[in-house]
Amino acid sequence: MATAADLTVKPAEIDPIDVTRAELYTEDRWQEPFRQLRRHAPIQWVPESKYGAYWSVSSHKPIQHIEALPKLFSSDWRYGGITLAAESDTLLPNEIRQPMFIAMDPPEHTAQRRTVAPSFGPGEVAAMKEECRERTAEVLDALPIGKAFDWVQRVSIELTTGQLAKLFGFPWEERHKLTEWSDYGGDITMFRDADALAARNAKMQEMGMAFAALWQERMANQGAAGGKDLISVMIQSDAMNHMSEEEFIGNLILLIVGGNDTTRNSMSGYAYGLNQFPEEREKLEQDPDLIPNAVQEIIRWQTPLAHMRRVLTEDTDMFGHDMKKGDRVALWYISANRDEEVFDDPDAIRVDRENARRHLSFGYGIHRCVGARVAELQLITLFEEMAKRRLRVNVLSEPERVPACFVHGYKSMQVELSTY
């Protein structure tokens, strides 16, 4: 088991383990390399990878420590943003950088986060409950019992895209576009291929134009005054006056990409994970009061975003490691959530795990997920509506997984429903 002192183990004492390799995720065998890293080199310099050199931070404590130092460990988009995809300060061929507040440091970050945060407060989220429940019920009631279907398409995507369409007041019939844009936006594998990056840019531009049109429409329409959808709220906010159109669009992209893949893959993780642990599934079926805790446990176990990255703004000594200005640092939430120091038997799902909430799936510190409550609402509602109908998901074959070290999830998953 790792101890705090292990944090200072130097990279030379264990060969670098490059955990960005896509096959680790498509084949679902990332667990062992991260176990090795946590045990022998929880902070390790990896000089070579498809995404360039980086520091790999893989245990719970140093990730929290680093996230609490946002001035030293910057998220700034000018350094290439919050995934390992881009280089620090050199643009890749066809790379365009978009300002958005997840990729900003204080004071810019503080002001812009303040604009949207009230839309995700407890009162606002409580007001979304009824609509979320009705929509979830409708999706579940349309599913076949005892017949194979793709859970990702029919449940996870349908519910999360529907929620975002409601949140933004996006035209309902065109909501599938949100799914497509989000998929392009979150796909970091496109970054190292200039043609793929150009295709991604085209999609992001299409999305930007669609939202710019909605923005114009709501600006022109006095109905925006007092409008409750997120676009109207942003238009009415004081901080809006200080935001360029580019930043406004960047932040909308952030909200869509941030809110879509992540919640989607938690819903798919619920189906897959509980199928892996049938005794835990039964425990939850017998005691629906466990649902809120089970939601946290599934978010921990799945870790829908495997990492976020930071860039050093100054040379520093971090637990004995000589980090240099400009170095890129990957914070592996996926590994912190399996840290044996924090979670007993971490690879197992335990729906009644006492400290499930200590997971880092939402990040930590000033950038901690602003949409966490909306994600929790959607998951709690799904679990509750499944329980009401006494529905159980049986996974029929290994799912197809996302081939990347950023979005950690499933492309498709054949399942069959039964009742209990």
Q: Which residues bind ligand HEM (CB under 6 A)?
A: 67, 82, 101-102, 113, 254-255, 258-259, 262-263, 266, 299, 304-305, 308, 361-365, 367-371, 374-375
Structure tokens of 323?
A: 């980090």
Q: What is the nearest approach in angstroms of ligand HEM to the Cβ of residue 256?
A: 8
Q: Which is nearer to ligand HEM, 244 or 286 (CB)?
A: 244
191 backbone dihedrals φ, ψ, rounded to 5°: -65, -30
Q: Which is nearer to ligand HEM, 16 or 30 (CB)?
A: 30
Q: What is the nearest approach in angstroms of ligand HEM to the Cβ of residue 416?
A: 25
Q: What is the nearest approach in angstroms of ligand HEM to the Cβ of residue 12?
A: 30
CB contact set of 202 (below 8 Å; sequence gap of 6+): none
Closest CA to 274 of 143, 414, 380, 392: 392
**Cα-only R_g, the chain:** 21
- DSSP run (H or E) holding 316: strand 316-318
DSSP state of 144: P
Q: Strands of 414-419's sheet, edge to edge? A: 149-150, 414-419, 391-395
Q: What is the nearest approach in angstroms of ligand HEM to the Cβ of residue 146?
A: 30
Q: What is the nearest approach in angstroms of ligand HEM to the Cβ of residue 273?
A: 13
Q: Which is nearer to ligand HEM, 273 or 304 (CB)?
A: 304
Q: What is the nearest approach in angstroms of ligand HEM to the Cβ of residue 128?
A: 11
Asked whether 375 and 369 are in contact (CB, 8 A), the reply is yes
| Residue 81 one-letter amino acid | G
Give CA–CA dist 394/227, Å, rounded: 42
350 backbone dihedrals φ, ψ, rounded to 5°: -130, 110
Give CA–CA dist 203/207, Å, rounded: 6
Q: Which is nearer to ligand HEM, 33 or 365 (CB)?
A: 365
Q: Which is nearer to ligand HEM, 215 or 362 (CB)?
A: 362
Q: Which is nearer to ligand HEM, 9 or 60 (CB)?
A: 60
Q: Which is nearer to ligand HEM, 16 or 268 (CB)?
A: 268
Give CA–CA dist 49/61, Å, rounded: 25
Q: What is the nearest approach in angstroms of ligand HEM to the Cβ of residue 420?
A: 26
